[in-house]
Amino acid sequence: MPHGKPAGVRCVQLGDQDRCLLFGQPTRPPVCASLRPHPGLCGASRAEALAHIAWMERATAPPLPPKDPA
């Protein structure tokens, strides 16, 4: 994904079993390699992890453009 991965878009490097196809490879983006498992992010289940990630995406999303008054 040469222009970055937008929030909410599935990474092209995510395999059929939801595992990173670049894991352990030097081509894995540094931001991905910098993430470390933590209970505050991963929670106790896949559902909790996805909910945490969704919250982080909303919290760090760029502001919406101003509405057109017309």
The footprint of ligand SF4 (CB under 6 A) covers 5, 11, 13-14, 20, 22, 28-29, 32
DSSP 62: P
- Tell me the backbone φ, ψ of residue 20, rounded to 5 degrees: -65, 125
Strands (E), the chain: none
Between 32 and 50, name the residue whose CB sits nearer to ligand SF4.
32
Between 25 and 58, name the residue whose CB sits nearer to ligand SF4.
25
Between 32 and 51, name the residue whose CB sits nearer to ligand SF4.
32
For residue 20, list its beta bridge partners. Answer: 14
How far apart are CB 25 and ligand SF4 at their closest, in Å? 9
